[in-house]
Amino acid sequence: MLKCSSVGELSRKDPVTDLDLIIIGGGPAGLTAGLYAARANMKAILLDSKDVGGEILNTELIEDYPGFESVTGSELAQKMAEHALKFGLKIETYKPVKEIRSEGDRKIVKLEDGTELSAYAVIVTVGGEPTKLGVVGEKEYHGRGVSYCAVCDGAFFKGADLAVIGGGDSAFQEGLFLTRFANKLYVVHRRNDFRAQAILQDRLLKMDKVEPITPAEVKEIGGNGDVKWIDIERDGKRERVNVEGVFVFIGFKPVGRHLFKEHIDHDKNGYLITDQYMRTSIPGVYAAGDTRAQLAKQITTAVGDATTAVLHAERYIEELKDIERVFPGEPKEVAAETASKAELLVFAPGEVVLREGEPADRFYMVIKGEAEATQTGPDGAQVTIARFGPGDYFGEIGLLNDAPRIATVRAKSALEVMALDRAAFSRLLESSQATKAEVRRVAEGRVRLDRR
């Protein structure tokens, strides 16, 4: 078991409300997100329903993670967890999540024990549960010869004849582990060709004790209290194969979407749909790793997903806080929606943000640095009419009046601004009379200044 820190607050009945980020799932994706969040000094917590490590805890040998020619799943999980803990990540294990819901700009995560946590953003990295064969005897003999984890149960079958069901990487990796204990190992796959990596196929299938059975489907699992045989169908004929253990590796069903009280977009298989920043259809909710729809399900892709997700989540949280600070009367849910649609732009000193006379298409809020607005005077010289710092905004006049820009804005120093397109700006104004009045008041003041 991996040793993790504890926040020591999760037994409270009142919600923990001062969090920036909640990470759900402690596999490679979750631990990577936690590492980056901790390094960024975010108020973050990682929750896992079991021990951290995820599915790699069930993998005996990993040989395709850069920097490690060969490492066990548990060793890699331990190193990842220790790295994140070193930077102060708070991890709570054996804290299963029951429900995630939105309340204004906050995401409320309810645990099975009734505890509620609140944060600006959530990154979901939970994987799934093993896909079942759905045949007679599978449920009856689960734990009595039927297993979905070779690393967990393989040692109980020393000297036995076993069957691995599946043709992908997981089936072959687990099959290699089982050859340590099995007298005979059958690899049953419904297609002629296996999908596992060539190197895995070469290693497993060249062993004398291994026999592939293809194309074949398992039709029934039977025995007399414990598993004694499987019935398969091959070439239209039913055959009985005597085995004492059946290890099923035919895929996983994602469970991430079932955590949400509201609708979240997913594909036909239940995987969460994200954009290139790992954003889901719910503002402030991100998905990374095996829970999202993607081509490959590898440790490397999970780590990459998580890096992207947490870096964008950090930006989203800061933008949300800026909107709330500048427009305190804005409804929280609209602030969250606006932040999710904002784009962060960075300008070097002297670089033009917007130019006098150009069409107005965006509204800007200053995050960091300073900017200066100038106009062309009667003699053609540039006249400074305004300066902007953190919390100030500009670009509203052209959008309100549907007119060209009345001034040029340049970065006076290294500048970061949050940009909203016309639709997001309109939504911001329509949602709150206080916000609308404030933006118009500032705009009218600037127009009067322009007329002088």
Q: State the catalytic residue, choosing from 149, 231, 392, 421.
A: 149
User: Which bin fits 322, alpha (ψ -120 to 50), beta or left (φ > 0)?
Assistant: alpha
Which one of 153, 361, 421, 450 is the catalytic residue?
Answer: 153
Give me the count of residues in the chain: 452
In eight-state DSSP terms, residue 413 is S
DSSP letter at 256 equals G
What CA–CA distances, in Å, run from 232 to 145, 182, 321, 334?
Answer: 17, 20, 60, 57
Q: What three-state secondary structure class fits 196?
A: coil
Write down the catalytic residue from 64, 152, 193, 267.
152
By the 10 Å C-beta count (0-12 exposed, 13-18 middle, 19+ buried), 12 is classed as: exposed
CA 296 – CA 298 distance, rounded (Å): 6
Decide: 183 and 209 in contact? Cβ < 8 Å: yes
Alpha-carbon distance of 292 to 280, in angstroms, equals 9
Residue 149 catalytic? Answer: yes
152 catalytic residue (yes or no): yes
Alpha-carbon span 387 to 385, nearest angstrom: 7
Active site annotation includes 64: no
d(CA 419, CA 393): 10
Write out the catalytic residue numbers.
Answer: 149, 152-153
